[in-house]
């Protein structure tokens, strides 16, 4: 389900056995690829349910500023990105957020496990203090398929015929 934060908090409180241990991750998930799918499956395997904090269109635009010759980000609108994420078996709920970090969501949901890719370091995660304050732990998941939306866009643009 695409949830408003208050609705998701109620659902978790009313049926903790369905949700906990709660795993939480966040990101832009602009052009979903195999690396995302494997990452989300690995995250879900760490607990009972996986909630994805999805950066809003405005948030993505701030995190990934326009580059000359490239389309503005996000490429896929937030409602469609959420729909695609929810189609994955691993994802129980998606919450769209406006902030550049997921700290407020973590404080509100108090996940048991916060997951990020193995290219991150716990010491530099801005969300880490909120995770630990809520009694959670952080897991870094190995990146199995080194792919990125930015890399896919670059490959697509490089493959187009050059104008004379």
Q: Tell me the pLDDT tens digit for each residue of 40-93.
A: 999 999 999 999 999 999 999 999 888 888 889 999 999 999 999 999 999 999
**Residue 1 pLDDT greater than 60, yes or no:** no
Greater confidence (161 vs 17) lies with 17
**Residue 164 pLDDT greater than 70, yes or no:** no
Bridge partner residues of 139 (DSSP) = 115
Residue 81 burial (C-beta neighbours within 10 Å; 0-12, 13-18, 19+): buried
Distance in angstroms (rounded) separating the CA atoms of residues 117 and 43: 9
Tokens of 164: 């004379």
Greater confidence (154 vs 119) lies with 119
CA separation, residue 11 to residues 42, 147, 154 (Å):
23, 34, 41
Residue 42 burial (C-beta neighbours within 10 Å; 0-12, 13-18, 19+): buried
Distance in angstroms (rounded) separating the CA atoms of residues 2 and 94: 5
pTM score, two decimals? 0.91
Q: Write down the pLDDT at residue 24.
A: 98
pLDDT cut 90: percent of the chain above it: 74
**Residue 104 pLDDT greater than 90, yes or no:** yes
The answer to whether 90 and 41 have CB atoms below 8 angstroms apart is: yes
């Amino acid at each position: 389900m695409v949830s408003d934060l208050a609705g998701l908090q109620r659902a978790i409180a009313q049926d903790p056995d369905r949700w906990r241990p709660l795993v939480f991750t966040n990101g832009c998930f602009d052009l979903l690829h195999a690396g995302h799918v494997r990452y989300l499956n690995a995250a879900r395997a760490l607990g009972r349910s996986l909630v994805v904090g999805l950066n809003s269109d405005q948030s993505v635009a701030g995190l990934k500023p326009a580059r000359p010759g490239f389309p503005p980000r996000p490429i896929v609108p937030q409602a469609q990105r959420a729909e695609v994420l929810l189609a994955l078996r691993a994802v129980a709920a998606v919450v769209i957020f406006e902030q550049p970090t997921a700290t407020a969501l973590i404080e509100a949901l108090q996940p048991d496990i916060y997951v990020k890719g193995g290219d991150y370091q716990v010491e530099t995660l801005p969300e880490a203090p909120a995770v630990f304050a809520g009694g959670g732990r952080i897991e870094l998941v190995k990146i199995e398929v080194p792919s990125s939306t930015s890399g896919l866009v670059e490959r697509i643009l490089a493959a187009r015929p050059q104008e004379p």
